[in-house]
Amino acid sequence: PAGSRALQALIEGSAAGSDAKSQLLSKLTGSWCDIALQGAGSFFLEKAYAWCDETQKELIVPELASRGSLLMLGCPWGPLLAKTLGLEAYAGRCVGYLFVYNRIHQLI
């Protein structure tokens, strides 16, 4: 948990540049579901997702969607996290996922 908070501070802060943040997120590919299943990790995931660009989002979401049932059943915050990241829209219609996600968040 403490490591997730440090990573969250790195993503939210101005100490590291965009390139360092992008490299960090790229190195976490393959670990997003494990991160999401931890309480502090899910907060970091939300912050990282909000910060990253569309290309990085397209790497995170399929990984989480492929193990979505584990996320939904594995922790109490799973359904809320899935909704926040738009996993249902992705699972239902992979093509155009970012359009749906962005449209939903424009309405909120």
Q: For residue 29, what is the DSSP state?
A: T
Residue 100 has pLDDT above 80, yes or no: no
Q: How far apart are CA 32 and CA 34, in angstroms?
A: 5
Give the contacts of 29 (CB within 8 A, at least 6 positions apart): 59, 60, 63
- Angle at the Cα of 55 from the Cα atoms of 54 and 58, rounded to 5 degrees: 85
Q: Which of 7, 94, 93 is nearest to 46 (CA)?
A: 7
pLDDT band at 106 (very low <50, low <70, confident <90, very high): low
- Amino acid symbol at 67: R
Report the predicted TM-score, pTM, of the whole model to 2 decimal places: 0.75
Residue 103 has pLDDT above 70, yes or no: no
